[in-house]
Each structure stands twice: as C-alpha cells, then as structure tokens.
Amino acid sequence: MNRATPVILFGASGRMGQELLALVPQRRDIDLVAALVRPGSRWVGEPVWPDRAAALTYGSTLEPELPAEVLIDFSNAASFDAALALAVQREMAFVSGTTGLSDMQAAELDAAAARIPVLWSANFSIGVALLRHMAVEAARVLGDDFDVEIIDAHHRHKRDAPSGTALALGQAVATARGHTLEEVGVFARHGQMAERARGEIGFATVRGGDIVGDHTILFAGEGERLEFTHRASTRAVFARGALLAARWMAGRSAGRYSLDQAIDAALQKSSDVLIAASVLLR
C-alpha cells in the first residue's frame, strides 16, 4: 500500500476547511499533520476531531521540523499571502482554492511556481471541470454567432463577484473564441444601454440564502439556446477534488499545474471510466 501524503490545511475553520476535515478520516492516502487557523482564533487548541482519539488540535503556527509535502489553502484573499509564503518557506506543494485574488497575488503564484509545485483552481469540483470542457467545445463550434451569458449563484456570505469559477469559465470561453475576457467581458448592466456588441460575454451574479454554488453558461442564438449548468448541493464535492489534487501534487517538481491534469491522471490509472469515477468520488 502506498504511504499516506502528509498535508497541512490552511484556513481550517472556514466552510471549505471544515468540509475537508470531515473527509480526511475516510482517506487512507492523506495524513493531516496540521490544521491552521488565524492567530487569536477561538479554535486554537481545540481538537480537530472531538469524537476521535486523534490528538490533533487547531493551531496558528507550525513546529519548525513538522514534515509535510502539501499545503492546502482555503482561506481568503487577506490570508492568501501568508499561506503561499509558508508553502514556499517549507518547500511544500501548494494547492489553493482561495478566490478573489488581486493581479499581484496572481503574479505571486507564478513567481512561487519557480520554486515549488503550484495548483490553483477557482473550483475543485470534477463536474465543473467537465462543464468547462463542454463550454469550450461549444464556444469553438458556435463562435461569436451565439451570445454568451454566465450566471453564478452563491450563499449570502460570499464576498467576491462574479465568482472565481464564473470568471474562469468566461476566460475559457473567450480564449476558445480567440478573445481575452478583458476585451469581451461585461460585468454590469443598468439603465439605458447600447445594443449588445458581437462577441460579448455577460455576467450575472446571484447572492442569497445558503446556495452552495450554481453556474450556468448560456449560448443564445437566433431561434435556439444551449445551456450548460452545474449545481453543487454540498461542498464535499469541492473537498474531494482538493484532496485528489493534493495527493497528486505530492513529490512533483516546481511549476504550475491544473486540476484537469490531476483528474486526467486519476482516470488514466484505469481503463474503465466508471471504476475511475468511483475512485474520484469516494
């Protein structure tokens, strides 16, 4: 049996952090060695799994010699820099799903990739990865003859809009049609407007209740519409994808990697796609 990968979780008290912690005890290939929260948090010193004999507690610092191969970051834009710096300092692979990053923080990811393996994704759902593939293929076939709108819906507490996933989907569609999102993205409509320009990609944002995450890509043409929708009913789907990525990233050389690469590698281990899918979703 392959040994378990030692992992550090940064942002352990957040929604995604808690989802990851709920799944880790079910995984034999992941060994969580630290669950980090912000200094002064009420979680510091509390047991990670109160109903288990494991002695792991939440902390805000790392022991100098604590061995770990991967740092998983699900914090926020304000804490992201500290997470990335820690991964670089400890020479760990960095797997992050933190969204709302600035251009400077995105550049820091590229700089870090010269020293450590880096995988950042706006969404770790395997279904969203498939959604992106289908949207790209549709964009290539339909071109600018079809108008594109991207709608994302999330819970009332989400602060960035559009979501990181919506932006990533928009960029993928724009690239497939030979544009950049900066050229064709439209992020607000109000009052009297000019007629829609050819090739525009519009965004609409919904925030309310406890919606985990819904994304729709609408291709609207003359006399017909094509819609691709992914709805997440539990954050566990993102946690599974993040753990899959963390396991795959362990031991890799410095550079930028994608969730698609991790998923493809998992599927290639089996000639039967159904068996492979059951492995991904366990």
The verdict on whether 154 is a catalytic residue reads yes
pLDDT surpassing 70 at residue 188? yes
Report the topology of domain 5-124+235-280: Rossmann fold (3.40.50)
Q: Which two tokens stand for residue 29?
A: 């290939």
- Is the model's pLDDT at 274 over the cut of 50? no
For the stretch 203-246, pLDDT in tens is 999 999 999 999 999 999 999 999 999 998 888 888 999 999 99
Tokens of 116: 């450590």
DSSP 106-149: HHHHHHHTTTSEEEE-S---HHHHHHHHHHHHHHHHHGGGSEEE
Report residue 275's pLDDT band, with 50, 70 and 90 as the boundaries.
very low
17: pLDDT strictly greater than 50: yes
Read off the tokens for 53: 């004999």
Yes or no: say if 92 and 254 are a contact pair by the CB < 8 Å rule: no
Q: Check if 179 is active-site.
A: no
Pairing of strands 213-220, 225-232: antiparallel
**What is the reported pLDDT for 268?**
65
Q: Sorting pLDDT into bands at 50, 70 and 90, what band is 125?
A: confident
Q: For residue 67, is the peptide bond before it cis, meaning its omega torsion is within 30 degrees of 0? A: no
Low-confidence winner among 137-141, 145-149, 251-255, 263-267 (lowest mean pLDDT):
263-267
Confidence band of 5 (pLDDT split at 50, 70, 90): very high
* Catalytic site residue from 133, 154, 157, 179: 154
Cα distance between residue 200 and residue 183, in whole Å: 8
Least confident of 47-51, 149-153, 277-281: 277-281
Beta strands across the sheet bearing 225-232: 185-186, 201-207, 147-154, 213-220, 225-232
Q: Token pair for residue 264? A: 């493809």
pLDDT of residue 267: 65
Residue 48 in this model has a pLDDT that exceeds 90? yes
- pLDDT confidence bin for 174, thresholds 50/70/90: very high
126-232 belongs to CATH 3.30.360.10: yes
Q: Residue 35's pLDDT is what?
A: 96
The whole-number pLDDT of residue 270 equals 45
DSSP 168-223: HHHHHHHHHTT--HHHHEE----SS-PPPPTT-EEEEEEE-TT--EEEEEEEE-SS
| Predicted local distance difference test score (pLDDT) of residue 105 | 97
Task: Please state the domain extents for the chain.
Answer: 5-124+235-280, 126-232
Question: What number of H helices and E strands is found in the chain?
Answer: 9, 12
Cβ neighbourhood burial of 55 (10 Å; 0-12, 13-18, 19+): exposed
More confident site: 193 or 136: 136
Is the confidence at residue 273, as pLDDT, over 90? no
Residue tagged 């406890």 (tokens): 210
pTM: 0.73
Distance CA 224, CA 226 (A): 7
- Sign of the C-alpha dihedral computed for residues 175, 242, 206 and 81 taken in this order: negative
**Per-residue confidence (pLDDT) for residue 265, from 0 to 100:** 80
Per-residue pLDDT band for 154 (boundaries 50, 70, 90) equals: very high
With beta carbons less than 8 A apart as the criterion, state whether 235 and 212 touch: yes
Predicted confidence at residue 248, as pLDDT, reads 94
Q: Calculate mean pLDDT across residues 44-51.
A: 91
Angle between helices 236-249 and 15-23 (to 10 degrees): 70
- Over the stretch 67-78, which tens digit does the pLDDT of each residue have? 999 999 999 999
Choosing from 158, 179, 215, 230, which is the catalytic residue?
Answer: 158
